[in-house]
Amino acid sequence: MLALQSAIDSAVVPGTKAKQTLAWSRYTSYLQSIGITDDTYLEQFNKPQKHRILGAFATAIRSNHFNPGKRDPIKSDHCKSTINCVAQAYRMAGHEDPTLDANGKPSFILQRQFRHFSNTDKPPTQQAAVTGSILRKLHQLATPNLEKTMCDLFIGAFFFAMQSCEYLSVTGTRRTKLLQVKNIRFFKSKREQDHCDKQLHKADTVSITFEFQKKDIKNDTITQHKSTDTLLCPVKIWSRIIKCLINQKETNQNTTVNTYYSEGKSYKIIGSMLLKQLRRATKAIGKEELGFSENQIGLHSARSGAAMAMYLAGIPVYIIMLIGRWSSDAFLLYIRKQVQEFSKNISQNMITNENFFTIPTASIEDPRI
pLDDT digits (tens, 9 = 90+) for 220-273: 999 999 999 999 999 999 999 999 999 999 999 999 999 999 988 999 999 999
End-to-end alpha-carbon separation of the chain, Å?
77
- The dihedral sign for the CA sequence 51, 52, 53, 56: positive
DSSP state of 216: S
In this structure, which amino acid lies at residue 99?
T
Q: What are phi and psi of 88, to 5 degrees?
A: -65, -35
Compute the chain's Rg from CA coordinates. 27
Taking each helix axis from N to C end, the angle separating 76-92 and 108-119, rounded to the nearest 10 degrees, works out to 150
d(CA 200, CA 207): 13
Residues 6+ apart with CB under 8 A from 303: 161, 162, 163, 324, 334
CA atoms of 284 and 278, how far apart (whole Å)? 10
The closest of 272, 254, 231 to 139, measured between CA atoms, is 231
Phi/psi for 52 (5° steps) reads -70, -35
Count Cβ atoms below 10 Å from residue 118 Cβ, excluding itself.
Answer: 13
* 368 — pLDDT class (breaks 50, 70, 90): low
Greater model confidence, 291 or 364? 291
In the predicted structure, residue 12 carries a pLDDT above the cut 80: no
Chain mean pLDDT for the chain: 87
Rounded mean pLDDT, 119-125 = 80
Handedness of CA 112, 114, 115, 119 (dihedral sign): positive
- Total residues found in the chain within this entry: 369
pLDDT tens for each residue of 305-350: 998 898 888 888 888 888 888 877 766 776 666 666 677 776 777 6
* 187: β partners: 192, 205
Specify burial of residue 153 (Cβ count, 10 A radius: 0-12, 13-18, 19+).
buried
pLDDT digits (tens, 9 = 90+) for 27-44: 999 999 999 999 999 999
Residue 39 in 3-state DSSP?
coil
Taking the alpha carbons of 227, 233, 234, 237 in that order, is the dihedral positive or negative?
Answer: positive
Pairing of strands 184-188, 218-225: unpaired
Is 334 strand, coil or helix?
helix
- Could you read off the pLDDT of 177-210 as tens digits, one per residue? 899 999 999 999 989 999 999 999 999 999 999 9
Whole-prediction pTM: 0.70
Torsion of CA 225, 131, 164, 261, to 10 degrees: 80
Residue 49 binned pLDDT confidence (cut-offs 50, 70, 90): very high
HSE-up of 153 (CA within 13 Å, CB side)?
A: 34
Q: pLDDT tens for residues 353-364?
A: 766 666 677 666
Residues 6 or more apart from 8 whose CB is under 8 A from it?
17, 20, 21, 24, 89, 92
Show Cβ contacts of residue 198 under 8 Å, excluding neighbours closer than 6 positions: none
In the three-class reduction of DSSP (H, G, I as helix; E, B as strand; rest coil), residue 299 is classed as coil
What's the pLDDT band for 3 if we cut at 50, 70, 90?
very low
